[in-house]
Amino acid sequence: MAIAQSVSAQELKQKIETRNARIGVIGMGYVGLPLALLFSEQRFNVTGFDIDPAKVATLNEGGSYIFRIPATEIQSAREQGFCATSNYADIAQMDVVAICVPTPLSEFHEPDLSYIQQTAKAIAPHLREGQLIILESTTYPGTTEEVLIPILETNPSGLKVARDADSKGFHAAFSPEREDPGNDTVARRDIPKVVGGVGPVALELASAVYGTIFDRTVPVSSPAAAEMTKLLENIYRCVNIALVNELKQLCQRMGIDIFEVIDAAKTKPFGFQAFYPGPGLGGHCIPIDPFYLSWKARQFDFRTRFIELAGEVNLAMPYYVIEQTAAALNEHGKPLKNSRILVLGMSYKRDVDDLRESPSLTIIELLRQRGSIVSYNDPYFAYVGQGRHYNLDMHCTPLDDLAQYDCVLIVTDHSDYDYPRIAREAQLIVDTRNATKGIVSDKIVRC
């Protein structure tokens, strides 16, 4: 039910409903670009903001740098008026601004909100009354009101956030992204959109704008509730993955196939959801969210011991892979040092071009530290250079002569790989993903 609004809020809602609102999306990455395209599909005038000039140029030329987004989608958006820019002065022309910037961990596994802070500082000089600012970046409860809004309120016009229908100023909300790279079974607009506003007007406006591109919006009482919702979703996955990762190690000692056990357990029609073990967690959210929440909890003199333990179990998995690889090589009379190892798969997840927090990065660095001669193959990455916490400087190696390697280590189970052929030609395979399921060979070690 609609609530009483200021004139500026009524005008903005009408512009949203008639598709005349100008939408700005800050951060043209794995979250921001799909969001911008959804708005463009609904005939909104959309501007994408990014500090990377190469991304801006590619988008304005009708190209794409994300594998799962074809250039034709960008070109269709361009025909609807979509453009990209690095000029934050254009924020003043936007009616709605969605912030989709990274929120990584520091090297000490503490929240790094520098991207949000820098973005807020870039927006503030161009903020105007009646604008709706929505944060989508995954973060801890309280970020919108404790970090984002205070920076926005430093704007030269002295605008404050509007907290009720009688207030003038700008509007603010939080709505967590729910992207699932590589998932082609659920359309983007079919994923319900959780929304928490600073006050009832902001909630109504944010629900209205997302209601144009998503089939369902889920309003909650505050930005903090929406922020916690996102953490719960991902920590739920993190904890259950940690459980099966720990059980995998126990099952190996007991001579039991954990994947067989999971497949049997998931036949239960109630009370069980299948999660699968692997070489470690990757992606932007699941490996990070437990540490965001545990850091925030300490401000309330509370220890999230269960959640922290799950994070520790998952962080330890790349080291477990190294131990298993060393043991497998030892069975073949070879040490880890100076062994030639081919790592299959660099991305954190099957069939996506996303390196964020990928366990492959850690595994390769650990292998190098132990003296191994490491190569990699990944159909999505011709080269892997330097990132926040890695410096590899490696080029993709073709799968021409697998016999030259002492071990082929399967870290990401891309669909493009011919696993029967790999099993035939490799001297030794260490499979962390059960990619070789059904292939019988004494050369395969599943861990």
**419 occurs within a structural domain:** yes
Same domain, 396 and 442: yes
Same domain, 348 and 201: no
What confidence tens digit (pLDDT) does each residue in 292-344 have? 899 999 999 999 999 999 989 999 999 999 999 999 999 999 999 999 999 99
Block residue for tokens 């070109």: 75
Q: Look up the pTM and report it.
A: 0.91
In Å, what is the CA distance from 366 to each residue of 5, 20, 90, 320, 405? 58, 53, 45, 11, 18
All residue ranges of the chain with pLDDT < 70 are: 1-7, 284-285
**243 occurs within a structural domain:** yes
Q: How far, in Å, CA of 350 to CA of 358, rounded?
A: 11
Same domain, 341 and 436: yes
Same domain, 210 and 283: no
**147 occurs within a structural domain:** yes
How many C-beta atoms lie closer than 10 Å to residue 216's C-beta? 11
Q: Which residues are the active-site residues?
A: 285
Same domain, 311 and 379: no
State both tokens at 112.
Answer: 């790094």
- Domain total in the chain: 3
**159 occurs within a structural domain:** yes
pLDDT of residue 6: 65
Question: What CATH number does residue 300 fall under?
Answer: 3.40.50.720
pLDDT of residue 388: 77
Same domain, 300 and 361: no
Q: How far, in Å, CA of 105 to CA of 190, rounded?
A: 30
Same domain, 294 and 375: no
**2 occurs within a structural domain:** no
- CA quadruple 262, 268, 273, 275: dihedral, nearest 10: 10
**209 occurs within a structural domain:** yes
Amino acid at residue number 189: R
Q: How far, in Å, CA of 240 to CA of 248, rounded?
A: 12
Q: Which residues face 196 on adjacent strands?
A: 174, 220
pLDDT of residue 165: 78
Of 315, 330, 359, which residue constitutes the final position of a domain?
315
Same domain, 322 and 268: no
Contact 143, 116 (CB under 8 A): yes
Of 280, 315, 350, which residue constitutes the final position of a domain?
315
Domain with 204 in it: 7-221
**307 occurs within a structural domain:** yes
- Residues whose CB is less than 8 angstroms from the CB of residue 231 and which lie 6 or more positions away in sequence, other chains included: 138, 140, 141, 289, 292, 293
Q: How far, in Å, CA of 98 to CA of 96, rounded?
A: 7
Of 270, 287, 315, which residue constitutes the final position of a domain?
315
**1 occurs within a structural domain:** no
Same domain, 389 and 261: no
State both tokens at 26.
Answer: 């800050």
Same domain, 217 and 93: yes
Q: Which residues face 26 on adjacent strands?
A: 49, 99
Same domain, 38 and 120: yes
Same domain, 254 and 339: no
